[in-house]
Structure 1
Amino acid sequence: MPAAPPAVSVIMPVLNEERHLRDAVRHILQQDYAGEMEVVIALGPSTDRTDEIAAELVRETASNPWGRVHTVPNPTGRTPAALNAAIKASRHPIVVRVDGHGMLSPNYIATAVRLLEETGAQNVGGVMHAEGENDWEHAVAAAMTSKIGVGNAAFHTGGDAGPAETVYLGVFRREALEQQGGYNEEFIRAQDWELNFRIREAGGLIWFSPELRVQYRPRPSVKALAKQYKDYGRWRHVVARYHSGSINLRYLAPPTAVCAIAAGLVVGVTLTPLGFVIPGGYLAAITAGSLPAGRGLPWKARVRIPVALATMHMSWGFGFLTSPRSLAKKVIESRRPAVTAPTQA
């Protein structure tokens, strides 16, 4: 008789997720997985109905022996603190990270557990598959899954299975999380990269597989998308200062574009109209790039793709350029050395 699959703890950091939380939890509880599950939601100080919806989910699953929902407080509202609180409150040997606006594919957990066993990895993850629910979100999703939007990032655009520096969300062996002491709470963003860096430094394997897919709901407005990508750029520069070998040309493209466009506008206004060739060329490039990215979408979504691309590129680049050294210094001072498991005598 085959052994029962390992029990799984799903941890969710949530803040102002009334729009998607119930659907995200439904995708967890309906997983095609024979093992026991629990869902631990870490509640930040939301200003919408998130807490009320979470309380309803706790009540609705109270008599469910294999998929109960629990909550823990996260008064700071910070994602890494939420994750650590949920890890501490959970109890199973496999820990699955899910965000409040992420929808797991039906066999996500079963596939991840199989990959952990097959590869010997400490953490496995897959594709962040952006899908929208209106014209703007469809445009953002198209931008986020195109190479002109995010370069060759495998967890956005897909790729071959294999070892990776980091992965989207992640399905961990609990022993790896406990060995490393969880997430570094100074990393308000990029906490996944930093934790995976320590796991790799300790000799652990991080594994990417396109078999794993999570539907991701994009930010609902230009303002929200701009803030998201400004934070991404800001914290990517912190990572670059934290670990000098982690930067590459893909990460330098947005700040270079911001500088070039700003210089072109200044030259165009003060010296010669030829300066406008640079911003004009950029607009032409993202417009042309949006055509294949928007294939099959309604025209109202397609015409918004260049706006989404420009918002992502310019916000990321601006965040990278304005990321203060003091923030990186604070994070570097909090550096946790990787912890290697003791060898057996």
Structure 2
Amino acid sequence: MTANDRARETAAIGPGVSFVMPVLNERAYLEHAVASVLAQDLDEPAELVLALGPSSDGTTELAERIAAADPRVSIVHNPAAHIPVGLNAAIRASSYPTIVRVDAHSELSPGYARRAIATLRRTGAANVGGIMRADGRTPFQAAVARAYNSPAGLGGGAYHVGAGEGEAESAYLGVMRRDVLDAVGLFDESVRRGEDWELNLRIRQAGHLVWFDPELAVTYWPRESWIRLARQFRATGAWRGELVRRYGRRNGIRFFAPPALALNVALALVVGVLQLTGVLSGLASLIASAVYLPLVAYALLVIVMALLPAKPSDPPRSIRERLWTLAVLPTMHLAWGLGFLTGVVRGAGDTVDASRLGTQNTPLP
């Protein structure tokens, strides 16, 4: 299929947009996320389907009040609480030919849907995504956001740090054609994390385009505590390891950096113990000390990240945010890396993102 064929096919899609949002324990974020969806300026009918998991923080009651107050909002239940299961349930319950995935921890920028749909039709793509612009309202969350928005934090993917418009490996959230989703079989419900990457792989294998548009922006609010961040990244790493087991080299090289760091730390600990106990000495000890060099370089990187702003024009960062950066980056990388190694060796199994369970969040201002 040529680019012109794709564009004609996509342009022929009828009007109507279905926003789908998986929700679990998001009382602090849900109203803002829903408001950003309902405020989208569209010249065609739209709806929002919430895939509601069994929440314990009052999210269920809040979602029901929101749905009762606006006929554009409806609810489907997701008792399994898994994201791809909820997404598929919401897609099946929705009505329109264009599907816009939304996260309850995110907020769409004004004009997001209008531009994304225009890009979808202009390019003939099957899925269009943009920038995930992480933000924080506490020093800890701001430190995590700084890492998310940096190549040193999450590996420099286009939707984290930006790139020119064009074909992409995957798309953050995504504005998708329903006919293509139906053709490739929706989200794989056996993939609990990284489900978007896996779906986009199948979309590309079917001969369709996945497209990155840097003018699209979504605000993302990271986890609010160290333990929740560690749990999130361990689960994400485990599922990336599972995806490596399933798809091998189709996974980008950047995914292997955190497990390499984790292995380097483990090896350095072993060498350190052997040196302290005298098992390694002399020339052998000197040669083995080379294992520390990557860790010294990594420590310098973390310190630079903590001290310097992302851009010269950025406002000064607080001392607490800078101190948190020293903990946030190693936590993200090592938790992800250890999870990855577990996932590669024995599979992800029933690993879930425990940071989403039983949470008590501070409401957004």
Shift, 1:263, TM fit: 1.4
Q: Which amino acid aligns with 2:74?
A: H
Question: Matches of residues 212-223 of structure 1 in structure 2 within 5 Å?
Answer: 212-223=216-227
2:287 pairs with 1:285: no
RMSD: 2.1
Identify if the C-alpha distance between structure 1 residues 326 and 151 changes in structure 2 by more than 3 Å, giving closer, same or farther: closer
Shift, 1:81, TM fit: 0.4
2:214 pairs with 1:198: no
The whole-number CA distance in structure 1 between the counterparts of 2:164 and 2:293 is 38
Question: Matches of residues 164-179 of structure 1 in structure 2 within 5 Å?
Answer: 164-179=168-183
- Give the unaligned 5+ runs of structure 1: 63-67, 331-345
The whole-number CA distance in structure 2 between the counterparts of 1:39 and 1:186 is 25
2:35 pairs with 1:29: no
2:26 aligns to what? Answer: 17
Name the count of aligned residue pairs: 323
Of structures 1 and 2, the one scoring higher in RCO (CA 8 A, sep 6+) is 2
The whole-number CA distance in structure 2 between the counterparts of 1:120 and 1:328 is 35
Provide, for residues 27-72 of structure 1, a one-character-per-residue CA deviation record: whole Å limited to 9, x for no partner.
011112222110000001111111111011111113xxxxx10000
- Give the unaligned 5+ runs of structure 2: 1-11, 277-284, 351-365
| 3-state SS, counterpart of residue 168 of structure 1 | coil
Provide, for residues 145-190 of structure 1, a one-character-per-residue CA deviation record: whole Å limited to 9, x for no partner.
1111122211111111111111111000111111122111000011
Name the stretch that deviates more: 270-279 or 151-160.
Answer: 270-279
2:240 pairs with 1:236: yes
Shift, 1:277, TM fit: 5.6
| 3-state SS, counterpart of residue 44 of structure 2 | coil
| Contact 2:170-2:201 at 8 Å conserved across structures | yes
Identify if the C-alpha distance between structure 1 residues 98 and 249 changes in structure 2 by more than 3 Å, giving closer, same or farther: same
Question: Matches of residues 50-199 of structure 1 in structure 2 within 5 Å?
Answer: 50-62=59-71, 68-199=72-203
1:318 aligns to what? Answer: 338
1:6 aligns to what? Answer: 15
Matching residue within 322, 325, 329 for 1:305: 325
TM-score by length of 1: 0.88
Shift, 1:328, TM fit: 6.7
Q: Which amino acid aligns with 1:33?
A: L
| 3-state SS, counterpart of residue 189 of structure 1 | coil
Name the stretch that deviates more: 124-133 or 230-239.
Answer: 230-239
The whole-number CA distance in structure 2 between the counterparts of 1:328 and 1:302 is 33
Name the stretch that deviates more: 157-166 or 29-38.
Answer: 29-38
TM-score by length of 2: 0.84
| 3-state SS, counterpart of residue 243 of structure 1 | helix
